[in-house]
Structure 1
């Protein structure tokens, strides 16, 4: 015989266990180079910099 629960777990108790599964919104900061909003710890999609260095060459608008 395996481990069997003694009684049913109520919806409230089950839901209380699952609170840590809620999604959190991404952290948005301003890019220190161009000032546009960007996700923290990601490359800026507007200017292509990360930690003050140019890591992605962005195409110039014509």
Structure 2
């Protein structure tokens, strides 16, 4: 069985229209409500170890 092949070449504008949604965007970064350090949403804060108002991870700075 033969594979399907395009009969005509796609124009540059058609190719670029298809690729219009392929651009990368910067991640959404907010501030931690506890310590104010920048963090990505729905992620644990690297500065204080808090997530959604609870302490999830004890950081090494807190232990010493």
Query: What is the total number of aligned residue pairs between the two structures?
Result: 62
- RMSD in angstroms over aligned alpha carbons? 1.8
Q: Give the distance between the partners of 1:4 and 1:56, measured in 2 at CA.
A: 55
Q: Which runs of 5+ in 1 are unaligned?
A: none
Runs of 4+ in structure 1 deviating by more than 6 angstroms, as ranges, are: none
Greater percentage in helix: 2
Q: Which runs of 5+ in 2 are unaligned?
A: none
User: TM-score, normalised to structure 2's length?
Assistant: 0.80
Matches within 5 A, 1:1-62: 2-60=3-61
